[in-house]
Amino acid sequence: MNIFILYLLLLKATVTSFSGLGSLPLIRQDLVVTRQMITDAQLYAAVAVGRTTPGPAGLYVVSVGYFVSGAPGAIAGWLALVTPSLSIILIIRYLGRKAEHPRVKSVLQAIVWASAGMLLATAVPLGREALSGLLLLLIALGSGLVLVFTRLDSIWVMLGAAAVCLVADAVHAILSV
């Protein structure tokens, strides 16, 4: 794939989202569904890498670029990730005084809701494929409940879910012998 086209596709996704994973639906549509440049499994791996490394939540875009075109793709992903942030400095200079205007607030609120809807539209198919067994479904449900109803840090929930999976695999291996 042409690196410039990859940059533009990733830029389109990062510009139209206002949160780290908000670009996920567009990236999935463009690179997995429409162009078949990467698979859903590679997209999941990119998200996992981006979520486990320090830095912005949208860092997975760099991994997506890498899966598409190696190191040049990773550079295109990084550029697509930082371009909106650098551009916003110039935009804030112009719109900064107008941010309290009711119409501007309404537009920003609509963008947030649209981003949430796009994220949900992507999360459902990803969840259907990722939650392939009863144990994984129970872990996801339990993790969600713990996160909603307690103040436990998410790292402990992730470590607990990983521990449950490791124990379940060990028990399965012992029973299979």
% residues pLDDT > 90 (the chain): 41
**Per-residue model confidence as pLDDT tens digits over 123-137:** 787 777 778 888 988
* 159-174 confidence digits (pLDDT tens): 999 999 999 999 989 9
Distance between CA atoms of residues 30 and 154, nearest Å: 30
Which amino acid is residue 126, in one-letter code? L
pLDDT, mean of residues 26-44: 92
Place of tokens 């992903």: 77
Is 18 a residue whose pLDDT tops 70?
Answer: no
Q: For 78-115, what is each residue's pLDDT tens digit?
A: 999 888 888 877 777 777 777 777 887 787 788 778 77
- Average pLDDT in the chain: 86
CA–CA gap between residue 93 and residue 31 (Å, rounded): 34
Amino acid letter for position 55: G
Strand, helix or coil at 133? coil
